[in-house]
Amino acid sequence: MTATAPAPATGRTPLPLDVEAVRADFPILGRTVRDGKRLVYLDSGATSQKPRQVLDAERWFYENVNAAPHRGAHALAEEATEAYEQARATIASFIGAQTDEVVFTRNSTEAINLVAYAMSNAVTAKEPEFHRYAVGQGDEIVVTEMEHHANLIPWQQLCERTGATLRWLGLTDEGRLDLSDLDTVVNERTKLVTVTQQSNILGTLPPLAPIIERAHAVGALVMVDGAQSVPHQPVDVAALGADFLVFSGHKMLGPTGVGVLWGRSEVLAALPPFLTGGSMIEVVRMEGSTFAPPPQRFEAGVPMTAQVVGLAAACDYLTALGMDTVFAHEEALTEYALAQLQAIPGVTVIGPPDTVARGGAISFTVDGIHPHDVGQVLDDQGVAVRVGHHCAWPVVRRMGVPATTRATFYVHTGYDDVDALVEAVRHAQRFFGVDAVEEA
Amino acid sequence: MKLQDMYQEIILDHYRNPHGRGLRDPFDAEVHHVNPTCGDEVTLRVKVDGDTLTDVSYEGQGCSISQASVSAMYDLVVGRSVTAALATGEDFVRLMQAKGDTTVADELEDSLEDAVAFAGVSKYPARVKCALMSWMALKDASARAWTPSDPTPTTEESA
Ligand SMILES: Cc1ncc(COP(=O)(O)O)c(C=O)c1O
């Protein structure tokens, strides 16, 4: 069947990472799915698989030092505190941050909510030093149309609680950020601008420098959503110049249940707490209490210690591979996948069609087949992708599609995975009888 | 092969050539249901005369399973009593909970006619919601248009 033969394997530059060696570190990649098919895992954007080194670190913690950190004076408590704080230092250095600027949260979602709630808690805080970032009527919060729901709803809710106004930067038809009205959308009333560093659905890498420059020129804070960037490209908070960065451990080879809020120390110092309770206090009296300095002020309760240790192991693993190399690896795969997918009649890439200012999330539609049905046929071939609106409903609405199929890559992804994806898409077209129609 | 179990020819036929599609007047209640995990949507209207569902009309977008399901439902319920339609809906829910158990499908064949072809869907938990969306919309719309104790249709929804 020449009409459906795979396109010639052009554009296959040698991959920067040794895929077979990396795969050997990921136990789950050894399993099969759907009646013995090799697992082709192209859903790292939703959550990443974990290398043995990360699993070993968590097991090491539980088997050797498990105790509640920052409590008690016994040997294990001391060692657990040491392991927890050592991990904080490793994770901070991974993003070029000072150690006490790293706050552990459950995930990116919680990190974003922490800041949004701190800004409304600031309105009623009894401490005058916590009023600096209070948000109220007449103030504006700026988001973009490209955000994951995690970086949209908390700000909608903040505005509803405080009477502030939500504004946003729009998208171009190609799925890039439209900065033409940056200077009017971000203005003297703006309190905070928040923007993703890599779109989870379109793959776009928006230009952050002009946004951060404009926001700071009008005295606004800037948050960068690094949930899809920190796992896939070098990120250095000093070079970035933002005030907050959030990311999730589970998307960067680490465990679930741990995420990070990085905040500039003088900004964190001026924010009231979000969650309150044990660990985050200075002095407690029945009449009222005072709070610890950051990061403890934002870490109420016994933390996810083993997961933090696991995340540090993930950072070590990525550092050993080299984040420049990780980015180059995914860029090579993205270039190849974009070419192969766009060579299939009826397939449309939703988002930037080339690798310019683009990461490795590739969304696409297949004429005549709904994304759920594409995903089902792919799954039957062992190819795991995500389908739907990818928690970015305004993006699919703006791009004029009901939903997309999305493939995302990571350190264990090879050309064979992309080939499997491409072949499975062609198989879906044959299965639903839309291949001939398209090529006629 | 499993995939063909789910994508029965009957289902694909309903998907490609849906029965009863389009929103029609008059109607007694209109509802809009979405599947928030994937964005599938259906807008569904019912017309009730006495105890009888005289029309079910709909617009929607979504995967083959959700769209075929509403089409097959249309064939099953229009012209029946509301009570019978809702009982059929309950049979369909049972079919979706069968996890591929063929004895359930055999048992429900008389009640569900074409819609028994959706039995294969019950093996894929992520797709069950797609198949159920239209039935949930029908239940909701019927409840707004008709009450068993008072068979006179309420018309407030039709404005
Ligand atoms: C860009 C982006 N921001 C935020 C999130 C939320 O991350 P989490 O669910 O780990 O809190 C995601 C997750 O998909 C994402 O892709």
Q: pLDDT for A66-103, tens place per residue?
A: 999 998 889 999 999 999 999 999 999 999 999 999 99
pLDDT at A2: 42
Query: Is B39 in contact with A393 (Cβ distance < 8 A)?
Result: yes
Highest mean pLDDT out of A167-176, B31-40, B141-150 = A167-176
Tokens of A136: 């109220």
Nearest CA in chain A to B63: A370
Q: Is B3 on the interface with A (CB under 8 A)?
A: yes
Instruction: Give A131 or A73, the one with higher predicted confidence.
Output: A131
pLDDT digit string, tens, across residues A315-347: 999 999 999 999 999 999 999 999 999 999 999
Q: Is B59 on the interface with A (CB under 8 A)?
A: no
Tokens of B37: 């995990």
Distance from CA of B65 to the nearest CA of A (A): 8
Across the interface, of B3, B12, B61, the residue whose CB is closest to A377 is B3
Cβ density class A241-278: b for 16+ within 10 Å, e for less: bbbbbbbbbbbbbbbbbbbbbbbbeebbebbbbbeeee
Closest CA to A367 of A395, A352, A351, A348: A348
Q: Which residues of A touch B (CB under 8 A)?
A: 34-35, 370-373, 376-377, 380, 387-389, 393, 396, 402-403, 431-432
Residue pair A24/A51 in contact (Cβ under 8 Å)? The answer is no
Query: Is B64 in contact with A373 (Cβ distance < 8 A)?
Result: yes
pLDDT mean over A215-225: 98
Q: Which residues pair with B33 in a beta bridge?
A: B42
**Predicted confidence band at A203 (pLDDT cuts at 50, 70, 90)?**
very high
DSSP state letter for A292: P
pLDDT at B3: 87
Residue pair A275/A301 in contact (Cβ under 8 Å)? The answer is yes
Across the interface, of A373, A396, A432, the residue whose CB is closest to B39 is A396
pLDDT at B37: 78
| pLDDT over 70 (residue A437) | no
Sheet arrangement for strand A362-366: A347-350, A362-366, A404-407, A386-388
pLDDT digit string, tens, across residues A139-159: 999 999 999 999 999 999 999
Residue pair A173/A224 in contact (Cβ under 8 Å)? The answer is no
A391 is catalytic: yes
Q: Of all residues in chain B, what percent carry a pLDDT higher than 90?
A: 79
Tokens of A9: 């394997």
Residue B99: count other Cβ atoms within 10 Å of its Cβ: 11
The H or E element that residue A269 is part of is helix A265-269
- H helices within chain B, ranges in order? 2-6, 9-16, 64-77, 82-96, 102-112, 125-145
Given A57, A391, A392, A425, the catalytic residue: A391
pLDDT at A3: 45
pTM over 0.90: yes
Which residues from B are below 8 Å from A377, CB to CB?
3
DSSP state letter for A254: S
In the three-class reduction of DSSP (H, G, I as helix; E, B as strand; rest coil), residue A139 is classed as coil
| pLDDT over 50 (residue A275) | yes
pLDDT at A1: 39
Tokens of A387: 């389908």
- With a Cβ cut-off of 6 Å, ligand 1 is lined by A 107-109, 148, 150-151, 196, 200, 225, 227-228, 248, 391
Distance from CA of B127 to the nearest CA of A (A): 9
**Predicted confidence band at A436 (pLDDT cuts at 50, 70, 90)?**
low
For ligand 1, atom 15, name the residue with the nearest CA. A227
**Predicted confidence band at B159 (pLDDT cuts at 50, 70, 90)?**
very low
